[in-house]
Amino acid sequence: MVKISDVARHAGVSPSTVSYVLSGKRSISDQTRRRVMDSIRALGYRPHAGARALASNRSNVIALVVPLRSGIHVPIVMQMVIAAVTTARTYDHDVLLLTQDEGVGGLERVAGSSLVDAILVMDVEMHDVRLPVLRSLDRPSVLIGFPADPSGLTCIDWDFEAAGAACAEHLVDLGHREIALIGAPPAVYERGTGFAERTKAGFQRAAAERGVHAVVRPCDPEHARETAADLLRDHPGLTGIAVHNEPAVEPLLTAFRASGRRIPDDLSVIAIAPDDLAERLDLTSISIPAEELGRQAVAVLMDKLNGDQAPGATLLPSRLVARSSTPAA
Amino acid sequence: MVKISDVARHAGVSPSTVSYVLSGKRSISDQTRRRVMDSIRALGYRPHAGARALASNRSNVIALVVPLRSGIHVPIVMQMVIAAVTTARTYDHDVLLLTQDEGVGGLERVAGSSLVDAILVMDVEMHDVRLPVLRSLDRPSVLIGFPADPSGLTCIDWDFEAAGAACAEHLVDLGHREIALIGAPPAVYERGTGFAERTKAGFQRAAAERGVHAVVRPCDPEHARETAADLLRDHPGLTGIAVHNEPAVEPLLTAFRASGRRIPDDLSVIAIAPDDLAERLDLTSISIPAEELGRQAVAVLMDKLNGDQAPGATLLPSRLVARSSTPAA
DNA sequence: TGCGCCAGTGGGAGCGCTCCCAAACTCCGG
DNA sequence: CCGGAGTTTGGGAGCGCTCCCACTGGCGCA
């Protein structure tokens, strides 16, 4: 194994100089820097991660806690994970993967052993048992999602309240007087996951402000057909529908058509969904950019690592893209 | 920070004894062990990962290279990832996530810096550029999937050849004389990914051995409808179909029905797909246990890490489960 | 009694890096 | 010509752990 002293000898400088060339923590003459860099390349030197972590008290690794529970859409999670890894690399960090089932112990383990410098937690619950641990840990963390009490924590998420409201506004502006939101699977609401509730709240608030009747239904994608049928039966006057449940979108559309409703003639449909899905189905949508969220979360985490004061809460705006499922009047 | 010498003092032993208690590398009297463990708990001691890695030349971290390209089914990948992480934990290892877009450089980086002890690579291509690097690296690796030339490498995968053959056999045994395999998206074949080819080969071989006419079509899930229509038009006598393309399964079934074929009365359908999907649709299927593959891959990797001679190739058998889409005669 | 053997323990060098504390050298103004 | 400031570099302690090399005391056997 090539070590820093080998490089130093080869370049005719001291080990500390090689270290400083690599870290940039003090000024080095151009000539020396070049000589050192040449030696590094010539010898194929790679700093030993463990030695570095021991001496500097920084591992250059962040932990990423991924969820894998019912009701969450896996491809979106994966997009965020990939974006997080890619972004972390631009900050010269790697990503250690933790699953939720290790729970609180996993966080204490990787933080306590100095395996990671910081922690990114996805899919936070309203009353997440990990919150007190995260608050007490000596390493910075960022949560993707908002718990009931975010005090003392840094959280980031899409602005689902605004997204829900935008759906209602869009439908009302098109002239609909009776609208519905088809939301996440029941399991998600029962868990008290924040995003589902916030979408609902925004939708209902915006509708109420405009004096429009709004109903909200959870929806299990496997029973989309029944949900659609029930909804249309219970509310025959329904003409505008928002869907916030990615895997259920296609089954729902099929079910609406099967029940004789033409889209958009009889029913306007807007979805809160990733762009690729909405584009394919030519659906008006509020886009939820997964990569953007993963990227931003890491950026905020790195700010905290550098000691910069990060905002306690970040809400990523979503964007409404009109397509042919909600025609202008 | 609590260090090993603090524990040693608290327990009235030497630091080396604490180390040996933790590693189990030499015998310790019960009494001493108990005292040390008590002190560890009392002080909340956690060994410093970096120091450990430096002194022992083992980081207890493995790298996992995940794919995210077109044509692969994300939930299956995620299942394998989760299984790999969970299994690695049972061997007291953590998992560092690498994306493919760092390519060869990422492997050299994490191996060269001793950040990881071993490498697990998912979604291997036939002529993967990473193969020579993996062969030359000083750390063990395991590939999930088989390249064109697996010499000098350890590979593991489902036995797709057998799965394809089992599909054909099952259909032929039911009396079908003209059968088809609807496979992965064209992009997957073009990339020369092994699994798609092997399924095809097994299917065709088994059909040929039984003197039955077999056609194979790739299928882009987004154009499942057209694929189904074309296939039925080109081969009106088709009565048995195997599908090896998870996201296309439902659209295909819809398309078959839309073209007037009843399942299973007019058309027997068998799928190579995860159990949950097949169960939901009540489809006869060859199950591809994703968790099992992730678990086994890590197990083999750990064997190699321990110096045990691991088999060069491992093929995981799949299991045929008959359901109502292919009724017994 | 003397010896070898074994189980249990301690001492401490060394893993490869970082970063504090100087030291060397150059340049300038007085 | 000297002192001080600025720039560049070297020396080496120390990060927290592992594991090699002893050392000790007890036991059985000749």
A21 touches strand D (CB under 7 A): no
B68 pLDDT more than 80: no
Check whether residue A17 has its CB closer than 7 Å to nucleic acid strand D: yes
pLDDT (0 to 100) of residue A192: 62
Find chain A residues with C-beta within 8 A of B86's C-beta.
99, 101
Residues linked to residue A178 through DSSP beta bridges, in sequence order: A213
* Residue B300: closest CA among B80, B144, B77: B144
The pLDDT, as a whole number, for residue A309 is 84
> pLDDT band at A70, cuts 50/70/90?
low
For residue B175, pLDDT beyond 60: yes
Distance CA A128, CA A313 (A): 17
Q: How far is the CA of A55 from the C1' of C26 (A)?
A: 33
Taking the CA atoms of residue A300, residue A305, residue A307 and residue A311 in that order, the dihedral angle to the nearest 10 degrees is 20
Instruction: State which residue of chain B sits closest to A67, comparing Cα positions.
Output: B82
Nearest to A217 by CA among A198, A194, A189, A236: A189
DSSP string, B3-39: -HHHHHHHHTS-HHHHHHHHH--S---HHHHHHHHHH
Cβ A54–B48 below 8 Å, yes or no?
yes
Q: Do A64 and B97 touch (CB under 8 A)?
A: yes
Residue A144: which of A233, A76, A57 has the closest Cα? A76
Question: How far is Cα B313 from Cα B129, in angstroms, rounded to an integer?
Answer: 20
Q: How far is CA A59 from the centre of its chain?
A: 24
The single-letter DSSP state of residue A153 is S
Q: How far apart are the first and last CA of chain A?
A: 71
pLDDT bucket at B196, cuts 50 / 70 / 90: confident
Q: Which amino acid is at A222?
A: E
Q: B115 pLDDT exceeds 90?
A: yes
Give B23 CA → C6 C1' in Å.
21
The answer to whether the beta carbon of residue A217 comes closer than 7 angstroms to any atom of strand C is no
A254 neighbourhood in chain B, CB within 8 Å: 254
CA atoms of A152 and B110, how far apart (whole Å):
34
pLDDT tens digits along B224-263: 889 999 999 999 989 999 999 988 998 899 998 888 888 8
Q: Give mean pLDDT, residues A267-288.
A: 91
- CA torsion sign for A150, A153, A157, A159 is positive
Q: Do the bridges between strand B313-316 and strand B155-158 make them parallel or antiparallel, or are there none, so unpaired?
A: parallel
SS3 (DSSP) at B182: strand
Confidence of residue B192 (pLDDT cuts 50, 70, 90): low
Residue A329 has pLDDT above 60, yes or no: no
Nearest to A327 by CA among A265, A280, A242, A261: A265
Sequence letter at residue A111: A
Do A119 and A153 form a contact (C-beta atoms < 8 A)? no
Contact yes or no for B115 and A54 at CB 8 A: no
Q: What is the pLDDT of residue B288?
A: 87
Whose CA is nearest the C1' atom of nucleotide D7?
A27
Residue with the larger pLDDT of the pair B78 and A193? B78
Share of chain A above pLDDT 90, in %: 72
Q: Which amino acid is at A66?
A: V
Rounded to an integer, the average pLDDT of A17-26 is 96
Which residues in chain B are closer than 8 Å to A54, comparing Cβ atoms?
48, 50-51, 53-54
Contact A303, A194 (CB under 8 A): no
Least confident interval from A211-225, B29-43, B102-116? A211-225
DSSP calls for B244-293: --GGGHHHHHHHHHHTT--TTTT-EEEEE--HHHHHHHT-EEEE--HHHH
Which chain A residue has its CA at the smallest distance from B98's CA?
A85
What are the structure tokens assigned to A100, written together? 């939720």
In angstroms, the separation between the Cα of residue A47 and the nearest Cα of chain B is 6
Instruction: Specify the pLDDT at position A280.
Output: 87
**Shortest-distance nucleotide from A55 CA to C1':** D15
**pLDDT given for residue A324 in this prediction:** 84
Q: Taking CB atoms and an 8 Å limit, are B97 and A95 in contact across chains?
A: yes
Residues of chain B found within 8 Å of residue A223, distances taken between Cβ atoms: none
State which nucleotides on strand C lie below 7 Å from a protein beta carbon.
Answer: 7-12, 14-20
Task: Give ∠ CA A63-B64-A297 in degrees, rounded to 5.
Answer: 30
Q: Is the pLDDT of residue A296 over 60?
A: yes
